[in-house]
Structure 1
Amino acid sequence: MPNAPLVPTVRRRRLGSTLRHFRHQAGLTLEEAAVTMGWKAPKMSKIENATQSIRPSDIAQLLAAYGQHDAEVVTALQGLARDAGKRGWWQTYSGVLAPAYADYISLEEDAESIRVYASGVIPGLLQTAAYARETILGNTVRTPEEVAALAEVRLARQAVLTRPSQPVQLWAVIQEAVLHQRFAIRPATMLDQLQRLLDASELPNVTIQVMPLNSTPHPGGAGAFNLIGFPGRVPGVVVLENLLGASYIEAADSVKTYAAAYERIVATALSTDDSLALITRLHEGTRT
């Protein structure tokens, strides 16, 4: 009986799409790439489509055939091959996490940098527990137990900002309207959340800007997005979130388009000093 195809996890998809990207750069067909490894084209196709694994020991040889000898790239892709089926801490919450959300957490865990444009809610990596619970409750129909579990997940995700080895570099541009949100039943929620932003801004790997209400038009008008970068010049991923979960953009040219858009967003937003001054004023106003 033939083996069942592998589940195309997000790590396996990233590995496959990156290998396809380098193959295209080298100008090789599937058949030509397979020949360099002594394989048949269907195996190469399955690896690129994330339905078959590749041994970490084969990565260097395949990349060499593509003219890629950068040690960081080789190491990064070997890590993806090795960890493709690895279970993370978030698997404990599989009963409440949608598959797309679990994929996103996996991306965060592997990330070197995360750039966020937030237009409707404070980014999850910067939320307090109370803010997380209130926004989850407002955006979904969940039981109290599920809300509590999802809030725990959001807080657990924040460990990437303070991990001892290579904490994620977070750059968040937050639409000012989000900072004016109020919670009638628990008024202190926003007060604590604003303080959380001020505290997080003191981390050397966290940059926070505010997009003012009176800003000129900018690409963020098309909606919120996250731009995730990885070590070793591995192509990044764009994540678009919505009520049904998230969708991923992995094509290199499309990711570059979003990266250029983010630079324009950063240039349009308030400076970091002015942003923190605004958050401080709002915090003081909320407290009175």
Structure 2
Amino acid sequence: MATNMGTVRRRLLGGELRRARESAGRKAEETAAHLECSMSKISRIENGMSPVKARDVRDLLEWYGVTDPAQVKAVMQLHKDAQEQGWWEPYEDQLPSGMATYAGFECEAVALRAYEPMFVHGLLQTEDYARAVISAANPSQAETVENLVRFRMQRQQVQAERDEPVQLWVVLEESTLRRPVGGREVMAAQIEHLITAAARPDVTLQIMPSAKGAHAAMAGAFALMEFAAAIPTVIYIDSIAGNLYLEKEREVRAFAQTFDLVRAAGPDPRKPPQRSRPSQGRCAHHEHHHRPPPGHAPGGPTRLAQEQPQLRQRGLRRSRHRRAPRRSPRLEGHQQAPPAHRPAAVADLPHPHRHQRRVLTRAEGGRSGRETVARTSR
């Protein structure tokens, strides 16, 4: 599939105009005054973020002293190519500011590296997951939600039809998979989709365990988009306040280093993720790192009196050495039977972040003794 190249061509055009201005010794302020526009518009034109009229391109080349016919022809051809309409044009009125530019970059990138702490990356989302995410941000706007869902699915279709799809490397936080976006069934289907996608040769997926603690990218989500030829890498940062594009060499180098640190801290991407148990709402990482103790039966308590006699002895020993309760003066002379101890059921309470064992005593109604209950939290 031949993808639209307008966004990249616009960046190339902006780069040519910037180099021509710098060679002529012109400042951005002078250029803005010459075109009778703002400096921010000159910046957007030179960064490829804003279209420019053919008349303005010719005027700028003349003002910069570019008179070589071959160079003028090449620049004007870039301008013509940059006017090509993108596949996202039907959605542009409802897209967030700057998203059309991102769609253009994405379908032209040869490699995309992304860190996602909150959501599954858009190119890896199922339709139901995408609908749940978009609906949460656009409540009571059913038509807008459906249009944005179609736009997101179209992004995936564009990549699937490319002769050489973008090489996608995504690092997701474990908490992303634990959040039941759209409910358990939707999330279970999303996890299965991720497992399938991770098997593709153009996708590398890492799940950053929560147990890793702090790491270099905790400031927020970002993406690096790399292009062919001499087109510079673009950094994309999305937030509620809007999106930001960075392409200065110093900025690109800093984000590239951050991503390298994050993926180095994550698990080996060559090991495929394991399927989770959707009914329990657990992800692959939880199944691997938080396995239940021996004898555990999912969905109910575990009887360990015979399988783990040492646990029974431990409970009895603790109960035997427990300090006797102080008698109240009102009960003096009252004969009380000594407490009888016997082992009981052990409930397994899975917990992802702590491991502790405690012994509780519980008076049984209608019985003279006390029951020792050992409970394990994981």
Alignment of 1:201-220 (within 5 A): 201-220=198-217
- Point out the structure with max Rg over C-alpha: 2
For 1:17 and 1:216, the matched residues in 2 are separated by: 42
Question: Which residue is 1:191 aligned to?
Answer: 188
Q: What amino acid maps onto 1:170 in structure 2?
A: L
Question: Which residue is 1:31 aligned to?
Answer: 24
What is the DSSP-based 3-state SS (H/G/I as helix, E as strand, rest coil) of the residue aligned with 1:93? Answer: helix
For structure 1, list consecutive stretches of 5 or more residues without a partner in the other structure.
Answer: 1-8, 34-41, 59-64, 66-74
Question: Which residue is 2:237 aligned to?
Answer: 240
For 2:14 and 2:255, the matched residues in 1 are separated by: 18
Question: Which residue is 2:161 aligned to?
Answer: 163
RMSD: 3.4
What is the DSSP-based 3-state SS (H/G/I as helix, E as strand, rest coil) of the residue aligned with 2:218? Answer: helix
Question: Which residue is 1:221 aligned to?
Answer: 218
Question: Which residue is 1:126 aligned to?
Answer: 124
What is the DSSP-based 3-state SS (H/G/I as helix, E as strand, rest coil) of the residue aligned with 2:94? Answer: coil
Question: Which residue is 1:71 aligned to?
Answer: none
Per-residue deviation at 1:96? 1.2
Query: Is the Cα–Cα contact under 8 Å of residues 170 and 206 in structure 2 kept in the other structure?
Result: yes
Q: Of residues 267, 276, 285 in structure 2, which corresponds to 1:281?
A: 276
Alignment of 1:75-224 (within 5 A): 81-141=79-139, 143-183=141-181, 186-224=183-221
Flag the structure with higher helix content.
1
- Identical aligned residues as a percent: 30
Per-residue deviation at 1:273? 4.0
The Cα offsets for residues 71-113 of structure 1, whole Å up to 9 and x where unpaired, read as xxxx9x9996553222111111123112311111111111111
Q: What amino acid maps onto 2:156 in structure 1?
A: Q
Query: Is the Cα–Cα contact under 8 Å of residues 115 and 222 in structure 2 kept in the other structure?
Result: yes
Question: Which residue is 2:228 aligned to?
Answer: 231
Per-residue deviation at 1:282? 5.4
Q: What amino acid maps onto 1:195 in structure 2?
A: E
Question: Which residue is 2:324 aligned to?
Answer: none
For 2:78 and 2:157, the matched residues in 1 are separated by: 21
Q: What amino acid maps onto 2:123 in structure 1?
A: L
Question: Which residue is 1:272 aligned to?
Answer: 269
The number of residue pairs the alignment matches comes to 248
The 3 A distance-change label for structure 1 pair 285 and 81 is farther
Q: What amino acid maps onto 1:281 in structure 2?
A: S
Higher-RCO chain (CA-CA 8 Å, sequence separation at least 6) = 1
The 3 A distance-change label for structure 1 pair 250 and 269 is same
Per the normalisation by structure 1, the TM-score is 0.74
Q: What amino acid maps onto 1:215 in structure 2?
A: K
